[in-house]
Structure 1
Amino acid sequence: NAATPFGLKAMASLQEINPSKDVASNPQIMFLCLHAAGLNLIPVSVIAVRAAQNASDPTDVFIPCMIVTFVGTLAAMIIVSLRQKINLFQPIILGWIAGISLIIASLVLYVVTLNAAGIQSFSSMLSNGLILLVFLLIVLGGLYKKIDIFSAFIDGAKNGFDTAIRIIPYILGILVAVSMLRTSGTFDAVITGMKQFFAVLGADTRFVDGLPTALIRPLSGGAARGMMVSTMTTFGPDSFASRLSGIFQGAADTTFYVVAVYFGSVGIKNTRYSIGTMLLADLVCVITAIFLCYLFFG
């Protein structure tokens, strides 16, 4: 949520150079697909919920979450690059990928040495430090370019209010759709059918109990969090389904919400292949999460 204003500003900037104002441009699609992939450094909310549910080790899903979210981001980048015919084997692109991979690997190696309290403390310091850094960079950038920072802030606040009004219908539509799906019993029917299908195949069906979080996650983060808590309450916080549900929650963003808010804020009506790409990246995350959950938790 804290990143949303910056994301909306980036989308507005990309819209300024978009030749077709109601059709998503290639840069906008790449930006939004990477955003929806949800690269998450530390799944603090998932760890906090697991701790509140008295899990024996609230942080045991941290490494799977990190791996899944990184794989999802790479998948989104590769899929969009293939559609846009971008050569990923350029030195600068490979350098960025290698650099980000090194940072994430270093973060994982450090965080695994901490306990739950240490992770929450480190995450808080990291988050607050990044916010402070961004604030300082904005102020210093304004001073360097001799911009009236206060006036720019007021103008930005006015634009933010206008943006909020524009995206309210899109948010309302998403919330209504989520409510209808949850109250109609659609998810229960889908989960029951999937469990019966995999049972007939003779496959392990434990992962199916964690799928409600994955199914609702593209629509609503709050609803997915509710599904995760419900799974923990039903099966226990240390169950396979609960751990898988936590990985789902911490490893992707709300695809349709992101599309509605970001494209809606700039008046994009034709999203081209962006939704399909995001859902395909979500599918990669789901498959990877299931594989890693069996690998880590059996």
Structure 2
Amino acid sequence: MMDIVFISKLIIPLLILTILFSALLTKTDAYSAFVSGGKEGLHMSAELLPFLVGMMAAISVLRSSGLLLWITNLVSPLFLHFSVPAELFPLFLTRPISGTAALSITADLTHTFGPEHMISRLAAVIQGSTDTTLYILTVYFGAVGIKKMGRALVVGLLADITGMILAVAITVWYFQNVWS
């Protein structure tokens, strides 16, 4: 166990040394490349800011308007039919939109039910099972000027749904069969 900890502490310094050694061998000015990359990163951040603000505003309106709670109550019978706690619906809905909003919902569920409760376990696995499809499409596709993103949206949302279904199925199976 001590060897793994020691090796893990060396990974980043070894990576940096490898990059510097590679730059030395190829006679590349590593410092100028680093500064140029930093400038490019700041420029990209400035371009992404309007898309981020729009996404955060939309999420805030959804949560504060009570629409999320209303929809949760509406689909609750469907969730109960599949033996999935309806409390997870806001997480299912927000996970493809915003990682921060989904993390906030996951933290709230864990605080409400406790970390050992099945709802908290399901929320934690769902949180890690998918990506923020709408956020990625809005920010990254918008930053590079892609206007037609319909097919990417459909494929991304199908991947999100598949990931969430599998997250629930595997988590329930694991904690009912393996953990017991």
The alignment's TM-score, normalised by the length of structure 1, stands at 0.53
Q: Deviations over 1:164-191 (max 9, x none)?
A: 1111111111111111111112221222
- Look up the match of 1:266: 144
Question: Does the CA-based 8 Å contact 1:220-1:257 persist in structure 2?
Answer: yes
CA–CA distance in 2 between the matches of 1:135 and 1:184? 48
Mapped pair 1:225 → 2:106: no
1:1-298 alignment, distance < 5 Å: 126=8, 130-199=11-80, 201=81, 203-206=82-85, 208-298=86-176
How far has the Cα of 1:219 moved from its partner?
Answer: 1.5
Change (3 A) 1:129 1:279: farther
Instruction: Quote the Cα distance in structure 2 between the aligned partners of 1:133 and 1:212.
Output: 42
How far does residue 281 in structure 1 lie from its aligned partner after superposition? Answer: 0.6
Q: Which amino acid aligns with 1:271?
A: M
Q: In the aligned structure 2, how far is the partner of 1:138 from the partner of 1:281?
A: 35
Moved more, 276-285 or 264-273: 264-273
Q: Distance in 1 between matches of 2:140 and 2:160?
A: 18
Cα distance change, pair 198–262 in 1 and its aligned pair in 2 (3 A): closer
Higher helix share: 2
Q: Name which structure has the greater RCO, CA cutoff 8 Å, separation 6+.
A: 1
SS of 2:149's partner is coil
Whether the 8 Å contact between 2:106 and 2:127 is mirrored in structure 1 is yes
**Shift of residue 130 of structure 1?**
4.8
SS in 1 for 2:63: helix
> How large is the Cα RMSD of the aligned pairs?
2.6
**Closer, same or farther: CA 205–257 of 1 in aligned 2, 3 Å:** closer
Give the CA deviation at 1:292: 1.1
For these two proteins, the number of residue pairs brought into alignment is: 175
Q: Percent identity?
A: 33
Is the Cα–Cα contact under 8 Å of residues 130 and 159 in structure 2 kept in the other structure?
A: no
After TM superposition, give the deviation of residue 272 of structure 1 in Å: 4.7
Question: Could you tell me how far apart the structure 2 residues matched to 1:243 and 1:162 are?
Answer: 39
Contact 1:167 1:260 in 2 (8 A): no
Structure 1 runs (4+) deviating above 3 angstroms are 128-134
Unaligned runs of 5+ in 1: 1-113
Query: Match of 2:172, as an amino acid?
Result: Y
Measure, in 1, the Cα distance between the counterparts of 2:72 and 2:14.
44
Runs of at least 5 residues in structure 2 that lack an aligned partner in the other structure: none
CA distance in 1, matches of 2:74, 2:11: 45
TM-score, normalised relative to structure 2: 0.83
User: Are the counterparts in 2 of residues 210 and 242 from structure 1 also a CA contact under 8 Å?
Assistant: no
